[in-house]
Amino acid sequence: MDWEKHPTPAEPVAAERPPEGCLVAAIRIPVRIVVLVLVVPIRLTWDAVAAGGRAVWRRGLVPLARGTGQLLRAVFVVPWVWLWVRVLAPAARGVGAALTWLGGALFVRPWVALWRRVLVPVGRGVAVALAWTGRALFVRPWVALWRHALAPVGRGVRAVALWVWWKGVVASVAWWYLRVMTPAGHGIAWLARGVWAGLAFVARGIARLASVVRGGVVAVGRGAGWLSRAVGAGLASVGRGIAHLASSVWAGLTAAGRGLRVGGVWLLRALFVVPWVWLYARVLLPLGGGIAWLARGIAAAVRALGAGLAALLRALVVPAVWLYAHALSPLGPGIALLARGTATAVTWLAKALFVWPWVWLHTRVLAPVGRATAFLFKLVGAHLVFAGRALGAGLAWLGRGVWSGLAWLARGVWAGVAWFGRGVRTVAVTLVRWIFVVPAVALWRWVLVPVGRAVVVLVRETGEALGHAWRVAGHMSRAVGRFLGRLLRWIFVDPVRWAYRNVCTPLGHLVRDSVWRPAAQAVKDAGRTARQALAAARESVRQARADVRRALFGAKRAEPEQLVRDRREPGPPQARTLGSSTTALTKD
């Protein structure tokens, strides 16, 4: 049991709308009345057109489309499917099986036998010979070359490189310190003295810049006076803009009235003229053209069927011709090509054994040794060139130091000029703000925003009035539709239903019981009598034929008939004795 008291849930509170002014209350009712008068006929016409369109779509276009689809399927799809399933697919499977067997016999089995019986044994023998030849030509010569040529040459090159390092690099560094670094230090001291002189020159430039700034302040005062005059002229321009805005609003209202008149004319034309023109141009005319196109399509299908049969005959003859031209005829040239390939392989093997080893010895051994000797001499010359380049680099470094000092001095001068430019930019931004930005903000805040709010209220009320009128017109249209439906029911449906139930049904029962059933029974009796007469006649003819056969050829000796008991009928019960049993488990 729940002993706790639960608070009563509070009712949901609708969101409060912002307060509406007198302008909204004055606009809402007239606008809704006018919109309701204009929207009710449009909604009635729209509902009638929509109901007619749904009826045409459901009862006319959909069954027509289904029937057309079934007709097109029966004319174009079913014949081709039957032709594919019953003719083309079995023929294609038979031709494919024949071509597969023929291709295997002509192209696969000969090459498999050639590979297994000829190429594999020959390849194994050639591989053994090439392995021995490769070790003799490529492994053993390199081992001998490394042990007896490259290792001694490498030791000699290392000794020469150490000598070049000590005599070239170390001696060059000592000379660099004595002949380059010491004069460079003296040059740096001279550069420091020049920089100090540059700083003094910059200080004098700053003093001159201060005098120029004072002149700029005086110019700013003069600009403020000019600004006050410009503000007065801007306020006068705002007044003229308000007057121009009022005239523009009046012109807009006049144009809206003209637009409503033009829109009414266009609406009447769109409701009563354009639908009939569209029905003729987009429904009736394409329907007639579609029927004509269907007739032409059936004729084209018949022609295509004849062309397909001709193509089928060509498809059965052309593959046989192609097989003879492209399979059997090239078989002789293929055998000749195999003989030429064997001769080429033998030639290549002879070159690999007797020509290419000597070429490789010249290219891989003798030529690299010569190039290594030339490289040793080039290395010695390169160290000498490096010493000369080091001297040039020292002189270049000294020049860069002098250039850095001059660049620093130029940056100081440029910083002063940039400071003056920022002051001028601040003054210009202030003038532009008071001349252009402040008047524009005032115009937006005190003129455009109120006018925009009024326009928003007018548009919102017009939209809400349209929605309300559309819903009310929907209710009215539904009531009118129900009244018309009930009226049609009273005039047409109820009388027809009463006539069917109270007149047609009893009359039909009377005709069925008094006329139809007796006539049907008489026809059945006549048919039964005719069948019995025909059966009696057949039996009489059969008996007469048997009598004639017996009179001419004699009667056959009757064989004793064996009495066979029907297995479906149970036998008579046997009498029970002392040694018998009636159960399935103890029965003998």
pLDDT confidence of residue 588: 46
Which pTM value belongs to this model?
0.30
pLDDT for the residue numbered 585 = 47
Predicted local confidence at residue 509, as pLDDT? 92
In this model, does residue 57 exceed pLDDT 70? yes
pLDDT at 487: 92
What residues contact residue 394 under an 8 Å CB cut-off, 6+ apart? 176, 180, 181, 184
Distance CA 484, CA 482 (A): 5
Q: Is the pLDDT of residue 217 over 70?
A: no
For 50, half-sphere exposure in the C-beta direction (CA atoms, 13 angstrom radius) is 10
| DSSP line for 154-195 | HHHHHHHHHHHIIIIIIHHHHHHIIIIIHHHHHHHHHHHHHH
Q: Is 25 left (phi over 0), alpha (psi -120 to 50) or beta?
A: alpha
Residues 53, 282 contacting (CB under 8 angstroms): no
Longest dimension (CA), the chain: 167
At residue 1, the pLDDT reads 44
The mean-pLDDT minimum among 187-191, 433-437, 523-527 falls in 187-191
Structure tokens belonging to residue 105: 């016999």
Q: How far is CA 304 from CA 130, 301, 357, in A?
A: 66, 5, 71
Percent of the chain past pLDDT 70, that is, above it, reads: 63
Question: pLDDT at position 380, please?
Answer: 62
36: CB partners within 8 A, 6+ apart: 465, 468, 469, 472, 473
pLDDT at 365: 72
Q: Could you tell me if residue 2 is left (phi over 0), alpha (psi between -120 and 50 degrees) or otherwise beta?
A: beta
Flag the least confident range among 188-192, 244-248, 271-275, 291-295: 244-248
Nearest to 224 by CA among 440, 435, 420: 435
Distance CA 426, CA 216 (A): 12
Q: What is the pLDDT of residues 329-375, one digit of tens each?
A: 666 566 667 667 766 766 776 677 667 766 777 777 777 766 776 67
What does the H/E/C string look like for 203-239?
A: HHHHHHHHHHHHHHHHHHHHHHHHHHHHHHHHHHHHH
Asked whether the beta carbons of 405 and 198 are under 8 A apart, the reply is yes
Rg (CA), the chain: 59
Average pLDDT over residues 504-510: 92
CA proximity to 278, closest of 516, 53, 31: 53
Give me the helices (H) in 446-516, please: 449-488, 494-499, 505-511
Please give the DSSP secondary-structure letter assigned to residue 63.
Answer: H
In the structure encoding, which two tokens stand for residue 259, read together?
């637009």
Q: What backbone phi and psi angles, to 5 degrees, belong to 578?
A: -70, -25
Q: Which residues of 195-211 are buried (b: 16+ CB within 10 A; e: fewer)?
A: eeeeeeeeeeeeeeeee
pLDDT value of residue 415: 84
Cα–Cα distance, 79 to 67 (Å, whole number):
18
Mean pLDDT of the chain: 75
Confirm if 394 and 184 have CB atoms less than 8 A apart: yes
- What letter represents residue 137's amino acid? L
Burial class (CB in 10 A: 0-12, 13-18, 19+), 39: buried
Q: State the Cα–Cα distance between residues 363 and 357, nearest whole angstrom.
A: 10
**Has residue 294 got a pLDDT over 50?**
yes
Q: Give, to the nearest 10 degrees, the angle between helix 331-354 and helix 120-134.
A: 20
The residue with greater pLDDT, 156 or 120, is 120
The residue with greater pLDDT, 202 or 543, is 543
Which tokens hold the place of 549?
A: 């056969």
Element housing 381 (H / E): helix 367-432
Q: In whole angstroms, give the CA distance from residue 35 to residue 33.
A: 6
The answer to whether 95 and 319 have CB atoms below 8 angstroms apart is yes
Q: Distance between alpha carbon 93 and the CA centroid of its chain, in Å?
A: 38
C-alpha pair distances (Å), 583 with each of 569, 572, 576, 580, 586: 20, 17, 12, 9, 6
Reading the block at residue 541, the tokens are: 């003819």
pLDDT mean over 390-403: 70
The burial class, CB within 10 Å (0-12 / 13-18 / 19+), for 423 is middle
Q: Tokens in use for 137?
A: 């030509």
Beta carbons within 8 Å of 205's beta carbon, 6+ residues apart = 413, 416
Instruction: Answer whether residue 102 shows pLDDT above 80.
Output: yes
**pLDDT band at residue 528 under the 50/70/90 scheme:** very high
Mean pLDDT along residues 257-280: 68
Q: Can you tell me the mean pLDDT for 14-33?
A: 63
**Residue 566 zone, left/alpha/beta (φ > 0; ψ -120 to 50; rest):** beta
What separation in angstroms does the CA of 118 have from each of 105, 115, 191, 338, 455? 19, 6, 90, 12, 99
Residue pair 27/460 in contact by the 8 Å Cβ criterion: no
Lookup: tokens for 458: 């007018």
